[in-house]
Amino acid sequence: MDWFSVIVYIVVGIISAAGGYEYRRWRERGEKIKSEREKAKKQIEAELNALILDWGTFKETQEMQVAASLTNFKIRLGSTARVLQKIIASNETSLPKNMKVMLVEISTSLTKLSVKEFYLDGGVTWKEFIETGDKIIDKCKQIVGS
């Protein structure tokens, strides 16, 4: 065996070992991203399901226009928007783009809804509030259903 063969043998061994190591790291990264994606989806689904239930309960309540309950509900909407924004920010790379876009739209709409002012205008602002909320809930159901 000459020196050239020994060097080639060593280099091939090193390259094989490095390739195997990189492949394992690549697989581990893929599994980590998949795990993060599943965790984020569960968090999102839990938050959106809670919002859907809260909205349904709010609409069925006879006293939904009472200032105290309305204020509490608006605070809950703002809180849900912030939670969704945190989930989006912490899972920027692991969430599908279409889901991120819909979640940003939902959180933006929830934020606007949470600061909506009501006026004595014959129920116009109230109807807008309910219609906007229903549209948000429809988007939530799309995400939860997918």
Assess if residue 89 is contained within a domain: yes
The pLDDT, as a whole number, for residue 66 is 67
The pLDDT, as a whole number, for residue 146 is 53
Domain count, the chain: 1
The pLDDT, as a whole number, for residue 18 is 66
Question: Consecutive 10-residue runs of the chain (146 residues): their mean pLDDT?
Answer: 73 71 78 86 93 89 68 90 92 84 94 86 84 94 84
- 134: domain range? 35-145
Assess if residue 1 is contained within a domain: no
Distances (CA, A) of 83 to 43, 63, 72, 112, 118: 9, 27, 17, 15, 25
The pLDDT, as a whole number, for residue 63 is 56
Within 10 angstroms of residue 59's Cβ, the number of other Cβ atoms is: 12
Assess if residue 95 is contained within a domain: yes
What's the sign of the alpha-carbon dihedral 92, 97, 99, 104?
positive
Assess if residue 123 is contained within a domain: yes
The pLDDT, as a whole number, for residue 77 is 93
Tell whether pTM > 0.95. no
Assess if residue 47 is contained within a domain: yes
